[in-house]
Amino acid sequence: MKFQKDTSFFTGRIKSIAFAVKGAFKLITTEHSVMAQFSIAILMTIAGFYFGISKTEWLFQIFSIGLVLSIEGLNTAVEKIADFIHPDYHEKIGFIKDIAAGAVFFAALTAILIGALIYVPILFFN
């Protein structure tokens, strides 16, 4: 069966959204690193409601959560493609995967710093 591209603007966007939701669901339900990050995101969201953080703090927290989950998803995609192309260990594939993991590290470090800026004053100075 040949894949038929949807050229209609509206139905094409609906299909794109459906694929994106399907991909997000696959990430959350199959990838352990994303499960862990998603669990932390839920805990931080609960903490935000519990401590009544400001709108600006919500903005930074939501941005941080989105950043980490997005980069984690891209890292997973890079790893899956690399493993598909070269299933056995290869030094260059390992280098590529390390770089993708490094991007997750930077996003996670940013989120940790933002979380600390929001919650350390609430927990220790109020």
**pLDDT tens across 38-72, in order?**
999 999 999 999 999 999 999 999 999 999 999 99
Q: What's the confidence (pLDDT) of residue 10?
A: 85
3-state secondary structure of 51: helix
3-state secondary structure of 125: coil
CB neighbour burial string for 45-71, b if at least 16 within 10 angstroms, e if fewer = eebbeeeebeeebeebbeebbebbbeb
Q: What are the backbone dihedrals phi and psi of residue 31, each rounded to the nearest 5 degrees, phi first?
A: -105, 115
pLDDT at 24 over 90: yes
The structure tokens 């995967």 sit at 97
**Residue 124 to residue 76: CA distance in whole angstroms:** 36
CB-based burial label for 32 (10 Å; 0-12, 13-18, 19+): exposed
pTM: 0.88
Q: What's the confidence (pLDDT) of residue 126?
A: 78
**Residue 63 to residue 118: CA distance in whole angstroms:** 13
Q: What's the confidence (pLDDT) of residue 52?
A: 98
Indicate the pLDDT class of residue 2, thresholds 50, 70 and 90: low
**Residue range 8-20, pLDDT digits in tens:** 888 888 999 999 9
Indicate the pLDDT class of residue 75, thresholds 50, 70 and 90: very high
Q: What's the confidence (pLDDT) of residue 78?
A: 97
